[in-house]
Amino acid sequence: MKLRVFNILKNTKVEGPGNRYCIWVQGCSHHCKGCQAVHTWSHKGGTLLGVNDIIDDIFKQKNIEGVTFLGGEPFEQAEALGEIAEACHKSDLSVLCFTGGYLEKLQLEEKNKKLLDNIDLLIDGPFEIDKLDYSRPWCGSANQRYHFLSDRYNEEIFTKYHNKVEINISNNGQVFMNGMGDFDEILTKFGLQKVSE
């Protein structure tokens, strides 16, 4: 089984509780106005990676608390991510997943069952630019909801964690920002420009 991936960051502190292995999936049909990740929308971009290869790579990492799925829309590749999430849970790694959909609708589709069964924290709802709100960890708009699908996390996260942004610079000088915050304001502050959407 393959997963279409936009990017993998093997250790980050801004995409959920603790140090996390993050997978940005490629492909999203929501197309939220103001989305900071429009480059993940195309279903033809990214790289196809074997699910077992990804799982092996996750298990090679040291000092990670869990994995985070974002994108793109993770539930458009629910079967592949379900395999990864199940393997992580069996190894006591936590799973956080973002979705532009709503839990109640996702639960109606059988293809989503394995992924939902292995998520500890689901953050659902589309990004709504007119409800912009960075006051809660990892969320960008006030309509987005937290679902604690296991007892691994609870409401303590609201006081323990705050939104932060990481800036990574590759060997060829490409800048990659992740986390939650006003990316446009950060780019302006440092005199940087987006080169493509």
Tens-digit pLDDT profile for the chain (197 aa)?
999 999 898 988 888 899 999 999 999 998 888 777 778 888 998 999 999 999 999 999 999 999 999 989 999 999 999 999 999 999 999 999 999 999 999 999 999 999 999 999 999 999 898 998 888 888 888 999 999 999 999 988 877 766 556 566 666 666 555 555 555 555 555 555 555 54
pTM across the whole model: 0.82
Q: How far apart are the C-alpha atoms of 119 and 174, rounded to whole Å?
A: 32
Q: How far apart are the C-alpha atoms of 159 and 73, rounded to whole Å?
A: 27
Burial of 38 from C-beta contacts in 10 A (0-12 / 13-18 / 19+): middle
pLDDT at position 36: 76
Cβ neighbours around 162 below 10 Å, total: 13
pLDDT at position 15: 85
Q: Which tokens in the block code for residue 46?
A: 């990214």
pLDDT at position 197: 46
Cα-Cα-Cα-Cα dihedral sign, residues 61, 28, 118, 98 = positive
Beta bridge partners of 20: 12, 66
- Amino acid identity, position 39: H
